[in-house]
A and B are shown apart, each in its own frame.
Chain A
Amino acid sequence: MSGFRVWGLVPAWVLMLATLMVPLLIVAAVSVAERGAYGGFAWDFNPLSYREILFSEDWDGNLAFDAKYLAIIGRTLLLAGATTLICMALSLPVAYVIATRPPKTKALLIYLVTLPFWVSMIVRVYAWLIILGNEGFVGRFWQWIGGEGTLLFTPGAMLVGMVYSYIPLMVLPVFAAIEKLDPALLEAGADLYASRWTTARRVILPLTWPGLAAGAVLVFVPALGTVLEPMLLGGGKQMTMGTLIQTQFGGARNWPFGAAVALVLMAMVVLVLMVNARRAMRREART
């Protein structure tokens, strides 16, 4: 290996160590530290935080298996999974339409997809608060068609907000994959009497799969840690891992437990990334 190939990577390694590895190790250390009486922590080894995820004291003072944190983890996975699937389903046609426009329109449409990122996330989520509220146009339409109750502060509102927040991260890689499609393959499909549906299923989908997989990771990972949408649009009625971690560092003043939950979240993210990397490697090996 040439010197540059080793030393050229030093800045990247330094950055990784300083901004990822070291903070992660600190979080890991805090998760097994002794909690402070009023928040904070002391450097005494105490791994009880991890036990607390599965076992906690009930109202009678007995230590018992308690599924409440597992339920929160499960809900977070479900929500992030649903967000990812909906984003996939919506972004395929959107990306296809964009990819088949003339270059000028294409550039404009891509610009429009990324436009929301120019505005702070909190402002965008607040906008949904207004749109879905009783006085907002969607809320009013809902009442006009005779809908029951309000749209805000429901799991549905939360999901709408999450899909809205993360869908650009899905559209862009899917668009890139569709754009690389060779039109000759589609024509070949047509020549072989494939219906539009068959072409979509057997030609377009497999060829855009890398884009979808990349988009899925980009959406799923941040969706796991989401805080704003459950708090504002979901009305904070049910905790997710993000809000649970926030509560532990805030009101509960239990930093080690917050750090332990954060590490569980981190482990889930790493797992997703590893599965994805393995699949990518296998794909590469095949081609």
Chain B
Amino acid sequence: MNEALLRSLTPSVLGILVRRGADFAAAEDAVQDALVNAVRVWPADPPRDPKGWLVTVAWHRFLDATRADAARRRREDLVDEEPAPEPAPGVDDTLRLYFLCAHPSLTPSSAVALTLRAVGGLTTRQIAQAYLVPEATMAQRISRAKRTVSGVRFDQPGDVATVLRVLYLVFNEGYSGDVDLAAEAIRLTRQLASAIDHPEVAGLLALMLLHHARRATRTAPDGGLVPLAEQDRARWDTESIAEGVEILQAALARDRLGEFQAQAAIAALHADAPTAEETDWVQIVEWYDELARLTDSPVVRLNRAVAVGEADGPRAGLAALAALDDSLPRHTAVAAYLHERDGDLAAAARLYAEAARKAPNLAERDHLTRQAARLNTRRCR
């Protein structure tokens, strides 16, 4: 049984049911039923047209469920009156499903859960495990999300930016249990990129591929963080980098710059450098300027200060940092790094320790504590 095939067919089957007039929640239940059926029946009797098979079975499930529910008599009448659906390109339905799952009326965590379930075809248990919450919690989150969007008209044009934000959230989740969420986000973004012609979709896909290419080198065997400059570049996935760069260049050539393209450009410059010393920091600062113009985000300006510190020296970096609010996440860690580069080891050690106390995750806290300890033990000897 090909689970990947089933998962890739899920969104378009679901999209077809909803376009035929099925309520989103009922359609999702019917598709899940059809998938369970496929797992049971296909090994002995593989269909010639898997998608057609799933649509037929799911549609019958939906009709059965609707008929069985006396309280839904009126909806049944509506369904019976529906004209026979005309065949339509599958990509359209998938695309609509992306927009529905990322609907602005949903909270970010609900949109993520619904996208993984409806578009990604993951089970509730898999999503719950990935987010380290009980299955019952995730089931509630998904069914509430389904109720929230059940009244939404399916033919409304969606907002690409919202869809991309949801996919980026999935990618950026560090958890990896049964399901690798980063790989899942790449798969979904790839699917979206083949369905929609938009430079920012390409930009996000390039960004994900470029970051994913470095994943194996980002943590030490003991789980400790390895900073970019110390990563073993020979172990970066060159195929993934080449693909990311190619997608990015095609997107940039269309001259409709967006924040994901700009972020991907920065990631590409890092990926391009044969050694950390050969990084083109001057160009990276220029891309951060573009990014700051596009997003006006204080986090971008914080990253820019790091790049300025590399391009023009630690004093310049500290000057750029001084203009920013020191309550920003990682502000203290950046200050510690720049003070160390500037030779002020006492201030750096103190700031590293302070940054460790504020760190949002264990790996970062351990890393920063080690930096403080490295400077403190060196100064004492």
Do the two shown chains form a genuine complex with each other? Answer: no
Chain B interface residues (CB < 8 Å from chain A):
none
Chain A interface residues (CB < 8 Å from chain B):
none
